[in-house]
């Protein structure tokens, strides 16, 4: 089956066409600045040249139309007609408490996703627009919704409830949901498989360290805790998000800086994290590593604070699971940042962890980076959210 995976943001749209039998990506690309001047489509067939084209995209339907045109193009396309696209898998950010698993999309599901809009006002409406745009152009093609929150729905109430008046949970469903679920699920399963162990009898910690970053605790095949909360703002110090902090800071800053809630939230989401803490050096860890190597004290402090927070979450999840068998690193920084992994593991001597520096220097493959004698295994597992979405979609179609 050929499955088109769509990850639709408010002004961007990432796509991949995946052959579900071989699990190979046939073509992929990106539409940027949808609805904004200067929009651009990038299209890269697996066996051809990457193309970038500046072209007007007033809305998402036009973006999807261009994606489908690229995929079916006579010269550079990868399928002859739209009938060769068997299904579409959509990444949906927030499934609230309604969706603990992926689901085929129908009117009822669309309504339920819409009801989660409040919980992810920037993401869910864009995801819905992406679904509608596909439906308009591929009327009879089955579509699946794969939720970022679903994998975390197994968390027990003691992990997902905040210490807030209970009525806010009842009235507004304020609780911890967690995100990056598709990645945490994919990486934890893959780690067990790679180690040749039984996923349902393992304690695994996954550190998804990208621009957005989160840690999860997976016990016996189920997520029991994760660092992101009601929104992706909670938890680790991220590229530009603050992560955990005293909520009283919001009021304090609003008074001191004469700012309203929206302005403060914008600072916490877009101007904080390693970007803000470093004095605006960069949100990219490569720049921070370079600045730190050049002696910049703020960059050093920022990296220290980032690593320390990850190490603390790992410690918390070891406590939550009463042990850990494997710790996995994934996403942009987790997969590429060998020095970050080393510094984080330096905190974990109490787990009997010893890194194999040669293995830790490798890139781009599933690999154990701890030594044979290390009491806890440490792995790098490159995440593949698109493949995970294609797998889920294909399972749903086959079960129909």
- Give the strand order in the sheet containing 2-8: 51-54, 40-45, 24-32, 13-19, 2-8, 87-92, 143-147, 103-104
Rounded to a whole number of angstroms, the minimum distance from the CB of residue 337 to ligand ADP is 4
User: Minimal distance in Å, beta carbon 332 to ligand ADP?
Assistant: 2
Query: Is residue 269 within the footprint of ligand ADP (CB under 6 A)?
Result: no
Strands 13-19 and 2-8 come out as antiparallel
Binding of residue 285 to ligand ADP (CB under 6 A) = yes
Query: Does the footprint of ligand ADP cover residue 72 (CB under 6 A)?
Result: no
Element (H, E) at 28: strand 24-32
Q: Is 148 a catalytic residue?
A: yes
- Give the residue from 278, 271, 274 showing the smallest Cα distance to 299: 278
* Sign for the pseudo-dihedral over CA of 384, 386, 391, 392: positive
Q: Does 210 bind ligand ADP (CB under 6 A)?
A: yes
336 forms part of the interface with ligand ADP (CB under 6 A)? yes
Three-state SS for 217?
strand
Q: Which residue in 59, 148, 284, 287 is the catalytic one? A: 148
Which residue, among 166, 218, 171, has the nearest Cα to 192 in the 3D structure? 218
Q: How many positions of this chain bind ligand ADP (CB under 6 A)?
A: 13
Least distance from ligand ADP to the Cβ atom of residue 341, Å = 10
362 interacts with ligand ADP by CB under 6 A: no
**Position among 24, 50, 201, 286 found at the interface with ligand ADP (CB under 6 A):** 286
The nearer residue to ligand ADP, 117 or 211, going by C-beta atoms, is: 211
- Of 101-109, 253-261, 292-300, 327-335: span binding ligand ADP (CB under 6 A): 327-335
Contact pick of 211, 220, 269, 296 for ligand ADP (by CB under 6 A): 211
Regarding 235 and contact with ligand ADP (CB under 6 A), the answer is no
Query: DSSP letters of 334-387?
Result: HHH-HHHHHHHHGGGGGGT--B-HHHHT--SS-EE-B-TT-SSEEEE----HHH
Site string for ligand ADP, 239-268 (x = CB under 6 A): x-----------------------------
Taking alpha carbons only, the member of 91, 85, 82, 78 closest to residue 26 is 78
39 vs 283 by CB, closer to ligand ADP: 283
Distance CA 390, CA 388 (A): 5
Nearest-angstrom CA–CA distance, 191 and 379:
7
Minimum CB–partner distance for residue 113 and ligand ADP (Å):
22
Residues near ligand ADP (CB under 6 A) are 210-212, 239, 283-286, 331-333, 336-337
Q: Which residues are catalytic?
A: 148
């Amino acid at each position: 089956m050929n499955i088109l995976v769509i990850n639709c943001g408010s002004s961007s749209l990432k796509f991949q066409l995946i052959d579900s039998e071989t699990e190979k990506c046939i073509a992929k690309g990106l539409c940027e600045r949808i609805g904004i001047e200067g929009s651009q489509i990038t299209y890269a067939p697996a066996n051809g040249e990457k193309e970038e084209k500046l072209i007007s995209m007033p809305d998402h339907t036009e973006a999807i139309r261009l994606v489908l045109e690229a995929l079916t193009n006579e010269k550079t396309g990868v399928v002859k007609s739209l009938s060769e696209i068997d299904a579409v898998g959509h990444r949906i950010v927030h499934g609230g408490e309604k969706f603990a698993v992926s689901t085929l999309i129908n009117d009822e599901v669309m309504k339920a996703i819409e009801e989660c809009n409040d919980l992810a006002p920037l993401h869910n409406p864009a995801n819905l627009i992406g679904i509608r745009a596909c439906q308009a152009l591929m009327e009879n093609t089955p579509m699946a919704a794969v939720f970022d929150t679903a994998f975390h729905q197994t968390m027990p109430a003691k992990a997902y409830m905040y210490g807030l008046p209970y009525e806010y949970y009842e009235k507004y469903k304020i609780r911890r949901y967690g995100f990056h679920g598709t990645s945490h699920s994919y990486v934890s399963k893959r780690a067990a498989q790679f180690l040749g162990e039984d996923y349902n009898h393992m304690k695994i910690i996954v550190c998804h360290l990208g621009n957005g970053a989160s840690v999860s605790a997976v016990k016996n095949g189920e997520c029991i805790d994760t660092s992101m909360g009601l929104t992706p703002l909670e938890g680790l110090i991220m590229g530009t998000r603050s992560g955990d902090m005293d909520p009283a800071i919001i009021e304090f800053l609003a008074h001191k800086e004469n700012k309203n809630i929206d302005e403060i939230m914008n600072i916490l989401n877009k101007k904080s994290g390693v970007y803000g803490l470093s004095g605006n050096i960069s949100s990219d860890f490569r720049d921070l590593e370079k600045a730190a190597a050049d002696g910049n004290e703020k960059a050093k402090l920022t990296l220290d604070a980032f690593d320390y927070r990850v190490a603390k979450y790992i410690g918390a999840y070891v406590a939550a699971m009463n042990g850990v068998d494997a710790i996995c690193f994934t996403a942009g920084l987790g997969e590429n940042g060998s020095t970050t992994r080393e510094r984080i593991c330096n905190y974990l001597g109490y787990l009997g962890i010893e890194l194999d520096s040669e293995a830790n220097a490798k890139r781009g493959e599933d690999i154990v980076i701890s030594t044979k004698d290390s009491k806890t295994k440490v792995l790098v597992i490159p995440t593949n959210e698109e493949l995970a979405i294609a797998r889920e979609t294909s399972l749903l179609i086959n079960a129909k």
